[in-house]
Amino acid sequence: MSQNDLLEKLKDIAGESQVRTDEPMSSHTTFRIGGTADYFVMPSSVEELQAIIRLLKKSDMNYYVIGNGSNLLVGDKGFRGVIIQLSDAFDKVEYIDDVTVKAMSGMKLSRLGNRLSDKGLAGFEFAIGIPGTIGGAVRMNAGAYGGEIKDIIVSAEVLDQNGDIHTLGKDELELGYRTSSIMKYGYIVVSATLKLSKGNTDEIKENIKELSQKRRMKQPLEYPSAGSTFKRPEGYFAGKLIMDAGLRGYLVGEAQVSEKHCGFVINRGNATAADVRTLMQNVADIVEEKFGVRLEPEVKMIGEF
């Protein structure tokens, strides 16, 4: 299939206004870094998403699905293929009973958390400050402040690589530390059903406020970043290892190990993807040399560097 044919077919499925070419990925990642994607598509329904996946499978085209673009580093030379963004049309929540909700994958965790607190539903407070969407959170079993997605999830609807929908129960999701069957099999999260508990709206909002203040004090939220840069090695904390290795404030170009929290790599303004990648490799090498522990990236890298 020629590139022109592909473009026309994508427009037929999603509509002309929802398909872009040579889209700068720096506009769609929390790092504010990244070259252009050949094609950028924003489906408006699950059916459109299915049709896009089936088209791309048939045409053997490389693709990657994003939500908020957190936890993601896109290479400076961009992404050869199609970026599918699940955002506005995948931003709905349905109340199934008093404590059970079904949230679409494009919904931001902060937005969902505030909606749940308004309803007096507790148990989601830990996730509110994580800068991602439900889809990414389920895929990675996101967690913070003693809570994680696996504590509250009932099931998830996913698309497989043929564009078929499956409902996976909690056990089938195989949720572990920053891992899941979704990651293992290349599924796309469509929605997640969560079970919360009844709470007092004022107390929930107070809890959210306290956690937000904690984050602001401890994390470099004033700079673009992808959140925690490295996974937590068993028995250690990545940020402490980096600090103990003397790397607080370590710079490569405009990428820097945050002085506020060494577990974060920040973009000081004009960092390139190459700066970030080099910094991450250097940090991992120095920590391993000093402490015999290899840091694994939590940030996903895609595209050409």
**Is 20 one of the annotated active-site residues of the chain?**
no
d(CA 187, CA 81): 18
The single residue of 8, 172, 254, 298 carrying the catalytic annotation is 298
The single residue of 117, 228, 258, 277 carrying the catalytic annotation is 228
**Is 228 one of the annotated active-site residues of the chain?**
yes
- Name, in order, each residue with C-beta under 8 angstroms of 214's C-beta and a sequence gap of 6 or more: 145
303: left (phi over 0), alpha (psi -120 to 50) or beta: left
- Name, in order, each residue with C-beta under 8 angstroms of 168's C-beta and a sequence gap of 6 or more: 155, 156, 157, 158, 181, 182, 187
**Is 215 one of the annotated active-site residues of the chain?**
no
The single residue of 178, 191, 225, 277 carrying the catalytic annotation is 178
**Helices and strands: H and E segment counts in the chain:** 8, 19
Tell me the two tokens of residue 249. Answer: 């404030």
d(CA 195, CA 86): 23
d(CA 140, CA 297): 13
By annotation, the residues acting in catalysis are: 178, 228, 298
